[in-house]
A = this chain, B = another copy of it.
Amino acid sequence: MRFVYSGKPLRLYGRRLLVFSKSSLDYTDIAVDKASQLNAIFFPRNLAVIGVSSDPDAFGSRFLKALIDFGFKGKLFPVNPKGGEVFGLRIYPAVSDIPEPVDSADIMVPAPLVPQVLRECLAAGVKGAQIYSSGFSETGDPQRAALEEELKAIGAQGIRLIGPNCFGVYCPAGGHTLLPGGDFPRESGPVGFISQSGGHAVELGRQARGRGLRFSKAVSYGNACDVNESDLLEYMAGDPETKVITIYLEGPREGRRFFDLVKATAPKKPIVIWKAGLTEAGARAVRSHTGSLGGEEAIWRALFHQTAAIRVGSLEELADTAEALLVLPRHTGRRIGMVGGGGGTSVAATDACAAVGLSVPPFDDSLRSRLAEILPLAGTMMRNPVDVGVPLVPPDVFRRVLEMVAAVDFVDTVIATQPLFYLLGGHFPMPLPADEIVRMLVEVPAAVRDKFGKPVVVVLPVGGEEVEMAEAEKGRRQARDRYREMGVLSLPSLDRVARAVANVVTYYEKTASNQ
């Protein structure tokens, strides 16, 4: 939808728009969903890319190339006053020269030129723009801050803005990737990511490629001169494609609104928040990065206490938790049955669970005697955690131990350390080829889960740090992908598994009344 009257776009008044009907000069006052405004940016039918040069290696051209490689479905209109051609596309001297209406613009001209370009977009009826250019308020320079105010004023006249100082929007269903993201996954997925940092958006997208996380939308919104974290949260709360909302935040622009949105949304749709810049030094870095205020630790503690939002401390934990939320069922519980290898590892695992509030209940005599029937006394432990005596546990024994542990009523969730895995490098003789044992072992957790209806989560450690072990690392990643195909969460360390499980359990406890 585009609202024009006599060829000029209409002004937005707050969140309402005056709409003139074509048949009369009367007008109706209707609520305009911000979502439809943002959709011009997420799902543009065509796109102006402003600041592209005819040199294919220049910055803007490379981004244009990334959009082409990513497979943008609509028309792409490169813009540069010098004109010319790049990648077989005509470069238009100005947005006004483009012969058809344009939904959205990607802008990467130097900061001082952005206001003029943006005015041209507004005049041409462009509904949304992403301003990748840096050099605004984040520099701390008052003139640069004034430049940003100018953008804001132009935006208020009827064009929604992402940025400046951002990497923009990644929306696979809309065919739009962020900067640089030509090789990001083409498939959509259930995760939304709202990121005040472009680097983190790129980093998460990059990690996601490998770990199978897929996004509905990921947005690096930078200085947020118009669209901010609250707008994006509101959008994702109402977006049926987004099942889990993840947020990297330095400091929200509208604190109260953000709080209210989190409180209202989290019970229905999980929200995972990494709040950075809470130390004094971190807050200073935040001011320098996006010009926002880091805020007090106490305020943030209150937010996490009063809402069901899940607090994480790193991008890694954010991604782990999103993955866990997508895979683990609501009845995932705190009482962990742990099956692993090595006594020392079991101690560390128990500590790791206790540190995040998971319990590792002692096994009763009945379970211990059942375990003693299939495990040798020496080199194993039949308490919780069970030490199955790696590295030589046969796959069928591993399976039976998992089944025994999953069967007892005082265990909600099973954590299994993938045995034998570090042997992939081939340093120990084995009764079967390593890849065959691994194949057998990989199928066990899903089978046990299905038999007992309890989640089984797997620790799948990196096999070796040597240059020559990069091949074994490939094998580990293949096993991880296989687990994922079977709907089994696997992460490389006990600490990460324990934290992700605890985050999910806490979320479901907090939202139990919504069940």
Contact = CB atoms under 8 A, between A and B. Distances in A.
Interface of A: 57, 59, 62, 110-111, 133-135, 138-139, 141, 144, 165, 180, 182-183, 195-200, 202-203, 206-207, 209-211, 248, 250, 276-282, 284-286, 288-290, 314-315, 341-351, 353-355, 359-360, 362, 377-381, 383, 385, 387, 390-392, 422, 427-429, 464-467, 469-471, 473-474, 477-478, 481, 495
Contact of A344 (B198, B341, B378, B495): B198
B354 A180 contact: no
A215 to B, nearest CB: 15
Contact of A180 (B59, B196, B285, B391): B391
State the number of copies, please.
2
Contacts of A392: 59
A204 to B, nearest CB: 10
| A359, A383, A471, most chain B CB atoms within 10 A | A383
A350 B197 contact: no
Contacts of A277: 347, 350-351
Nearest to A211: B465
A199 B342 contact: yes
B282 A428 contact: no
Contacts of A464: 206-207, 209-210
A343 B465 contact: no
A195 B344 CA distance: 9
B465 A210 contact: yes
28 contacts: A134-B377, A134-B378, A141-B377, A197-B345, A198-B342, A199-B390, A200-B342, A200-B344, A202-B342, A207-B464, A209-B464, A209-B466, A210-B466, A211-B465, A277-B347, A278-B351, A279-B350, A280-B354, A281-B354, A284-B350, A284-B360, A284-B362, A285-B385, A288-B346, A289-B343, A289-B387, A314-B348, A470-B471
Contacts of A250: 344, 347
A464 to B, nearest CB: 6
A446 to B, nearest CB: 20
| A211, A354, A391, A471, most chain B CB atoms within 10 A | A354
Contacts of A180: 391, 427-428
B285 A346 contact: yes
A376 B269 CA distance: 42
B344 A289 contact: yes
